[in-house]
Chains A and B, each alone.
Chain A
Amino acid sequence: MQQLNYLKETPSQTAGPYVHIGLAPGAAGFEIYRQELGWDIAGPNAEGERIRVEGLVVDGAGSPIKDVLLEAWQANARGVYAHPEGGSDVEDGFRGWGRVITNFETGEWAFDTVKPGPTPGRNVGQQAPHINLWVVARGINVGLNTRIYFEDEAEANSKDPVLNLIEWERRRATLLAKRTNRDGQVVYRFDIKIQGEDETVFFDI
């Protein structure tokens, strides 16, 4: 028989407990780079509503995971990704990508950004505003993918092709960030439950 000659993807391994050394050395306890990457998602020129997103990542025993690293990937307020296939230009300084780590004592994480706009669906229609999230940590062998949606986008969420793929309607709620106001700032709360009751929906993308 002939060979197909595709290569196999390099297998994943856990990021381990010291992921900060490589991806957030300041948090590991030392300064080395001129600039660390990923701490400014939207940049100063981004249009749209400024928001903070925050939460905890909780394990199957109910304890906050304190050595998590999360990466966010999102479109701008007009629904354009900062990428050659994004469709059009984005504001100068808008990268749409962010990297956040949890507080070593509390497990809380947070990032500041702008609320993304709706993006094109796979073939037709639109996806509700969402932020793509990738979660790695000690004990996680392959990074977990999920999406943050916004509870105040009920109509768009009801038509979202990805939310509607989730057969158990009750589980869709695990992807909705809850909106609050704190000292004049819009804050969305998004807790991630890795395992057990109200487990967050994770995707194979």
Chain B
Amino acid sequence: MLKQGEFYQRDREWHPPALTPDYKTSVTRSPQYSLISLQNSISEVTGPVFGHNDVDPLDNDLISNYAQPGKSPIGERVILHGKVLDENGRAVPNTLVEIWQANAGGRYRHKKDTYLAPIDPNFGGCGRTLTDENGYYFFRTVKPGAYPWRNWVNSWRPAHIHMSIFGTGFAQRLITQCYFEGDPLIDRCPIVKTIPDADAISRLISRLDMNSTIPLDTIAYKFDVVLRGRRSTLFENRLEGN
């Protein structure tokens, strides 16, 4: 029996559906059969546990974690920070958050990216951290640039940072993308628009956070993440034999 209840059902009308033809790659990569719905067992409510042996203190600083000594990447210096919460509003402490992104010119440090904008020799483009006891995380980075991709002939991704979050159970596993307030490319992007609900899209747009900037140094954006909440055990398990 589970010590606590299962996770709240994922709202599949809030998330993007699998088949979203304007995002062309989804056409052959979307299942045709329905998903089989599972009530959670121990296999879904447990998940990997990470600790401070896994992550180094500077892994969350993309301005320094790939820079040569005394150098830093070109671009708009940004703090990206926020909380990881569950649907009950409770902080999710000590969970692994990983990010990756293009550099200020929209070029990824990946052998498959052939965009003509140059690599920045002082920028790797990935970071990771554990949330603290209050569910809080932060990264220091440069704001990524927009970049073109082969979807329609003239498709450009808005500036975005990819984010991967674990939570406490495998059923909470989530990968998403963080966008930036005011970017006119957001409304034009077929990947953004895989999400049918405008309110849901708004949850992926980080806000300029002037109170968290470092004056004369680094600007800040706030991005909170919400993972699935979990039921109390109150009505969860029927007595044996009932």
Contacts and interface: CB of A to CB of B under 8 A. Distances in A.
Interface of A: 5-23, 25, 28-30, 32-35, 37, 59-61, 63, 65, 67, 71, 73, 75, 81-87, 95-97, 104, 119-124, 127, 130, 132, 134, 136-145, 147, 161-162, 165-166, 171, 194-196, 199-205
A116 B128 CA distance: 29
Interface in B71-102: 85-89, 96, 98-101
A162 B35 CA distance: 13
B65 interface: yes
Given A11-B204, A59-B28, A73-B43, A28 B226 contact: no
Given A28-B109, A32-B126, A96-B48, 5 more contacts: A14-B23, A85-B46, A87-B42, A95-B48, A204-B38
A111 to B, nearest CB: 14
Residue from B49, B56, B229 whose CB has the most chain A CB atoms within 10 Å: B49
B148 interface: no
Contacts of B20: 141
Given A13-B191, A28-B110, A85-B45, A199 B175 contact: no
B38 A162 contact: yes
Contacts of B65: 32
B218 to A, nearest CB: 21
B164 A123 contact: no
Interface in B165-183: 170-171, 173-177
A124 B240 contact: yes
A127 B40 CA distance: 12
Contacts of A199: 31-33
B54 interface: yes
Contacts of A202: 31, 33, 35-36
A203 B34 CA distance: 9
B36 A203 contact: yes
A81 B111 CA distance: 36
B52 to A, nearest CB: 12
Interface residues of B, number: 91
Contact of A18 (B66, B96, B100): B100
A28 to B, nearest CB: 4
B95 to A, nearest CB: 13
B100 A21 contact: yes
Interface string B199-216: 011011000000000000
A126 B31 CA distance: 29
Contact of A166 (B9, B36, B96, B126): B36
A23 B164 contact: yes
Contact of B47 (A11, A60, A83): A83
Contacts of B191: 13-14
Contact of A140 (B26, B110, B176): B26
B18 A141 contact: yes
B10 interface: yes
Contacts of B86: 7
Contacts of B125: 21-22
A143 to B, nearest CB: 6
Contacts of B15: 9, 11-12, 141-142
Given A6-B229, A13-B16, A139-B29, A205 B38 contact: yes
14 contacts: A8-B200, A8-B226, A9-B227, A11-B195, A21-B109, A25-B124, A32-B65, A84-B49, A136-B175, A140-B29, A141-B26, A202-B35, A204-B9, A204-B36
A66 to B, nearest CB: 9
Contact of A139 (B9, B25, B87): B25
B15 to A, nearest CB: 5
Q: Closest 5 interchain pairs by CB?
A: A22-B100, A139-B25, A97-B48, A139-B29, A83-B46
Contacts of B3: 85
Contacts of B9: 204
A193 B176 CA distance: 24
